[in-house]
Amino acid sequence: MNRLRLLAAILLIVLGACTRKTSIVVFSTARARGSIQAPDDCFKRGSCGGFPALKNIYDAEPLPKIIVDLGNWSADTPAGRLTKGSAVMEMMNAFPYDAAVPGITDITLQAKDFDRLADSARFPLIASNLYQRSGERYDKMPQYYIKDVNGYRIGFLSVLLANPQKPEKQKNYARFRIEKGSYDANLAINTLKREGAQIIIMLLSIDPSAESDRTYYRKFTKAAGRVNLIITDDPAVRRIFRSNKTWVVPAGAGNKKVERTEIFFNPETGKISAVESGTIDIDPLKYKENQLLHNIAIKYQIEEKKHFARKIGTLRSTLPLENDGIHPMANFAADCIKLWAKTNASLMPFSETAAGFSSTTVRLSDLYNAFPTDSDIVFVKIRGENLIDSLKSLPYGTFTVSGLKLYYSKDKVLEKTESAAGPLKADKIYQVAVPDSMITAENTSLLANAAEFANSRRPTRDVIRWCTASRYTFTPYTERIIQNGRTSK
């Protein structure tokens, strides 16, 4: 009798193995950043692909499959500000995705906007090392998730990483807190194993402004415990590699690419025998576009065009980007920021401006075209002598100023600096307003020389909008940068 039972059990195992496919496919995406179709050139062939074309790639896959995403559905971009990730979420729900992790741009949304995203998701949003500031878990996101795919139990966990250079350092945001990843990852891995997960996949989402080095993965996989596969949006990971027996693959980013990862199994043992991964260009002419998702995209395109066509102000005259060596748009911005900030002076790098206002009627689209950089205004308190040193560190011809006169020699060396009241006083504290791009720039010592600074949390673009809405009623600052006796106005 016992022999019969043993034979029956063996037969069931063999039959189960025979019914399984020997491989499954994992599609992965990341960093849509508010865009539901490929931005920029849209493949330069009249169709923008993105999620509508990706859906056809996904549906055409003959093998058992899953699709995951690494987050950052919202961003400080025109489309990202308008929909706050809801357009991307609607597209992902149409697949639907199998699992995802919210990115750092998502968890920094206002509470009502993030809650709306979490409530609308038709798939699990996993948060293994993400907590609320109170220390409690966010009840709409599980720590891990298990999905059965063609007879295999696949376990998912996630890690959010704010700073790859300090991966074990806690990071606080307005509402959430990111804990060190290795501890929470180890807890999730052990739980997944206890609950019978045969394959463990970690979704590793990194701050979009950061990048790791390859040593991070060796240290992390050693500290956190064994996972079979790490999928990451880390720009440093460009192709598949192995670290401590863990496969690491990139996620396709920006709606232009998708990563296809195939996991092969030994049909006798059910264990992973190999992993292959490659990037697919989401070419809409090759793969066409899913009609349902195409219709969703058209809806948002109409809404976006209507939104950015709104009139936001009227100017007394047009503002060219550059005219005979003078930069009217940057000068206008410097004057505007000084007026808004009520400071002694303001600085504006020419790199902040990309276009002029070609019409006296300014629309929201004109504002984004002219100021595409997502910077905030920073208030700096600095002693006069330190301000002069900082100005000397700025390359001539890369910035403009309001509230100061800068005198340069023939060889473009700063010789004298004056305010409206006369030469700067060495011991006096001056207040200067600048975009935060000047604080982080490598060629300036403004931050190092400052006695105090504070972020206004007001985007540069919003300050310029305030000035255009006031119909440009302030008086432009005249003398700014003087070289060889010539005044740049």
342 Cβ contact partners less than 8 Å away, ≥ 6 residues apart: none
Per-residue confidence at 472, pLDDT binned at 50, 70, 90? Answer: low
Q: Is 5 or 207 the better-scoring residue by pLDDT?
A: 207
Q: State which residues form the domain around 468.
A: 311-488
Task: Give the mean pLDDT of 2-25.
Answer: 55
Contact 124, 145 (CB under 8 A): yes
Residue 241's alpha-carbon distances to 12, 113, 167, 214, 245, in angstroms, are 36, 37, 20, 10, 10
Listed residues 270, 305, 340: the one ending a domain: 305
Count of structural domains, the chain: 2
CA distance 99 to 443: 43
CA distance 323 to 433: 25
Q: What is the pLDDT of residue 3?
A: 55
pLDDT 10s digits, 37-74 = 765 555 454 556 799 999 999 999 999 999 999 999 98
DSSP 403: S
Q: What is the pLDDT of residue 218?
A: 87
What percent of the chain is modeled with pLDDT above 70?
90
Amino acid letter, residue 131: Y
Same domain, 407 and 353: yes
Q: 């350092």: which residue's tokens?
A: 169
Per-residue confidence at 429, pLDDT binned at 50, 70, 90? Answer: very high
Task: Give the mean pLDDT of 396-422.
Answer: 90
Per-residue confidence at 254, pLDDT binned at 50, 70, 90? Answer: confident
Per-residue confidence at 8, pLDDT binned at 50, 70, 90? Answer: very low
Per-residue confidence at 35, pLDDT binned at 50, 70, 90? Answer: confident
Same domain, 198 and 322: no
Q: What is the pLDDT of residue 235?
A: 92
For helices 51-60 and 86-94, angle between their N-to-C axes, nearest 10 degrees: 20
Instruction: Determine, yes or no, domain membership for 299.
Output: yes
Q: What is the pLDDT of residue 14?
A: 45
Q: What is the pLDDT of residue 16?
A: 47
CA distance 76 to 46: 26
Same domain, 47 and 174: yes
* pLDDT tops 70 at residue 205: yes
Per-residue confidence at 10, pLDDT binned at 50, 70, 90? Answer: very low
Instruction: Determine, yes or no, domain membership for 6.
Output: no
Same domain, 272 and 410: no
Q: Is 18 or 309 the better-scoring residue by pLDDT?
A: 309
Instruction: Determine, yes or no, domain membership for 195.
Output: yes
- pLDDT averaged over every residue in the chain: 87
Same domain, 339 and 283: no
Q: What is the pLDDT of residue 457?
A: 82
Same domain, 132 and 277: yes
Same domain, 98 and 208: yes
Same domain, 341 and 481: yes
Per-residue confidence at 417, pLDDT binned at 50, 70, 90? Answer: very high
Pairing verdict, β 429-435 and 376-383: antiparallel
Task: Give the mean pLDDT of 84-109.
Answer: 95
146 Cβ contact partners less than 8 Å away, ≥ 6 residues apart: 153, 154, 155, 156, 192, 195, 196, 197
Task: Give the mean pLDDT of 108-137.
Answer: 94
Instruction: Determine, yes or no, domain membership for 8.
Output: no
The burial of 365, by beta-carbon neighbours within 10 Å (0-12 exposed, 13-18 middle, 19 or more buried), is given as middle
Listed residues 305, 324, 339: the one ending a domain: 305
Same domain, 289 and 345: no
Instruction: Determine, yes or no, domain membership for 419.
Output: yes
* pLDDT tops 60 at residue 13: no
* pLDDT tops 50 at residue 30: yes
Instruction: Determine, yes or no, domain membership for 377.
Output: yes
Listed residues 305, 326, 356: the one ending a domain: 305
Contact 50, 253 (CB under 8 A): no
Q: What is the pLDDT of residue 39?
A: 59
Amino acid letter, residue 57: I
Q: Give the CATH number, domain containing residue 242.
A: 3.60.21.10
Per-residue confidence at 232, pLDDT binned at 50, 70, 90? Answer: very high
* pLDDT tops 50 at residue 6: no
Q: What is the pLDDT of residue 9?
A: 46
Same domain, 108 and 184: yes
Same domain, 383 and 414: yes
Lowest mean pLDDT of 10-19, 208-217, 237-246, 288-297, name the range.
10-19
Q: Is 2 or 333 the better-scoring residue by pLDDT?
A: 333
Same domain, 231 and 351: no
The burial of 394, by beta-carbon neighbours within 10 Å (0-12 exposed, 13-18 middle, 19 or more buried), is given as buried
Instruction: Determine, yes or no, domain membership for 115.
Output: yes
Q: Pick from 153-157, 269-273, 410-414 the range whose average pLDDT is largest.
A: 153-157
Instruction: Determine, yes or no, domain membership for 9.
Output: no
Q: Give the CATH number, domain containing residue 473.
A: 3.90.780.10
Q: What is the pLDDT of residue 19?
A: 45
